[in-house]
Amino acid sequence: MLTGIGSWLPERVVTNDQLSQVLDTSDEWIRTRTGISQRFHAATGESTSDLAVEAGRRALKSAGDDHVDALILATTTPDYPCPATAPDIAARLGLSGIAAFDIAAVCTGFVYALSAAAGLIAAGTAERVMVIGADVYSTILNPVDRSTAVIFGDAAGAVVLRAGRPDELGALGPMVLGSDGENHRLIEIPGGGARQRSNGQPSEPDDEYFRMAGPEVFRHAIVRMSEAASRAMELARWLPGDVDRFAAHQANARILTSVLERVGLPATCQLSNVARVGNTSAASIPLLLDECAADGRLEAGQGVLLSAFGGGLTWGATTLRWPALTTVH
Ligand code: COA
């Protein structure tokens, strides 16, 4: 069950008008096509682990814990291709010695990591687990690609889970996870991995950047996120009336509206911060939950439906009844 939450945004705000000065785009286009007004970018030299440590510190404080038995980081932007970034984060949080590993499921990473954490707890391997979603997309975006540069922002969000009873507030419901590898090239960084290296050829400069087939991804995101959300409700035996709040991955405001309609939920359920932070990939859902818990949009006892979609393609969803949490801001 969920016992602590925290998040962290870098200081630098990048507005649509600022992007319009360097790209062939406009504030009007970005707001109407994506719902995004601004996003945050890490400072030069600031990396995923730096944001993750700040979010993790706040989640530990929120949980009133100074120890967990395992730490899972969901990210697409690890500090290095090798080793995983989670052990360094654990050490910097004073948790050296615990199990620590990364999960790569792009924007679905947080939900995949939640499920892995719940599994470690259910198996008795760990009593308390920290899950962090953190991404610094500003380091992998092609600065001249207007179709991706306007969408993504940097952030970290973290939660602490502990063993508990299914009827307690904060207990996670059944997990829905899925993937469609036939479409793995719709979201990709083509260079820098074993596929490119095994050719013995250096990658082209643009191959190191994130690429996305926007309109196709848009269609898959709507179908997969709504199907996963509906399935999670079915497995939890929830009807639409049991959902007080819907925390979907903040990809694009138009995607969020379509998913909400397909799942059959009223607009009052929708939690969103995409206008202020953009798509923050693995950080998206924990950052949203933390902000909403802090400003009162989420209250103890409310039924919360989570759903995410990302590269892979991957998707995942679950339910939980929101616990009484202290937030740290
Ligand atoms: N500014 C101005 N024009 C832009 C633009 C930008 N930032 N980005 C694309 N365009 C242009 C395109 O070049 C195209 O021009 P054309 O008609 O002359 O060829 C036109 O706008 C429409 O492009 P299209 O890609 O069809 O727009 P869209 O409405 O699908 O919006 C995305 C593009 C990327 C915003 C949208 O597809 C999207 O949000 N996709 C999903 C993204 C996502 O959530 N990914 C992560 C999933 S985890």
Residue-wise pLDDT tens digits, 115-133 = 999 999 999 999 999 999 9
Q: Is 16 a catalytic residue?
A: no
Structurally, at CATH architecture level, domain 2-162 sits in: 3-Layer(aba) Sandwich (3.40)
Band of pLDDT at residue 114, cut at 50, 70 and 90? very high
- Band (pLDDT 50/70/90 cuts) for residue 269 is very high
How many A from CA of 34 to the centre of ligand 1?
8
217 Cα nearest atom in ligand 1: 41
pLDDT tier at 203 (50, 70, 90 boundaries)?
confident
Whole-number Å distance, alpha carbon 151 to ligand 1 midpoint, is 10
Contact 215, 151 (CB under 8 A): no
107 is catalytic: yes
From 189, 218, 225, 249, give the residue whose CB has the most ligand 1 atoms within 8 Å, as the site to mutate.
218
Compute the distance from residue 215 Cα to the ligand 1 centre, in Å.
Answer: 7
- Pick the catalytic residue: 107, 252, 269, 292? 107
**Nearest-10 Cα torsion for 61, 64, 69, 75:** -30
Ligand 1 center from residue 80 Cα (angstroms): 30
Mean pLDDT of all residues in the chain? Answer: 97
How buried is 231 (Cβ within 10 angstroms: 0-12 exposed, 13-18 middle, 19+ buried)?
middle
Which pair of structure tokens corresponds to residue 119? 């599994």
Q: Which two tokens stand for residue 80?
A: 């290095």
Average pLDDT over residues 300-305: 98
| Closest to 313 in 3D by CA, of 210, 176, 180 | 180
Which of 41, 249, 252, 273 is catalytic? The answer is 249
CA-nearest residue for atom 46, ligand 1, is 251
> CATH number for the 176-321 domain, one of 3.90.170.10, 3.40.47.10, 3.40.720.10, 2.60.40.10?
3.40.47.10
Task: From 248, 310, 282, select the one nearest 78 (Cα to Cα).
Answer: 282
Report the residue among 18, 135, 147 best suited for mutation to probe ligand 1: largest number of ligand atoms under 8 A from its CB: 147
Q: Is 107 in the pocket of ligand 1 (CB under 6 A)?
A: yes
pLDDT at position 65 is 87
Residue 200 has pLDDT above 90, yes or no: no
Q: Is 148 in the pocket of ligand 1 (CB under 6 A)?
A: no
**Token pair belonging to 255:** 């995607």
Please give the share of the chain, as a percent, with pLDDT higher than 90. 97
Instruction: For residue 215, give the ligand 1 atom closest to its CA.
Output: 37
Q: Is 90 exceeded by the pLDDT of residue 48?
A: yes
- Does the CB atom of residue 214 touch ligand 1 within 6 A? yes
CB of 5 shorter than 6 A to ligand 1? no
CA angle 319, 322, 325 (to 5 degrees): 140
Residue 205's pLDDT band, with cuts at 50, 70 and 90, is confident
315 CB less than 6 Å from ligand 1? no
Q: Where are the domains of the chain?
A: 2-162, 176-321
140: CA distance to ligand 1 center in Å?
A: 18
- Give 14-37 pLDDT, tens digit per residue: 999 999 999 999 999 999 999 999
**pLDDT value of residue 202:** 83
Give the pLDDT of residue 118.
97
Active site (annotated) includes residue 142: no
Residue nearest to atom 48 of ligand 1 (CA): 310
Residue appearing with tokens 């406009």: 26
Which segments of the chain are extended strands (E)? 2-8, 12-15, 38-41, 70-74, 99-103, 128-135, 155-162, 176-179, 187-188, 211-212, 245-248, 303-310, 314-321
Name the closest-CA residue to atom 10, ligand 1: 147
The reported pLDDT for the residue numbered 115 is 98
Measuring from atom 43 of ligand 1, which residue has the nearest CA? 251
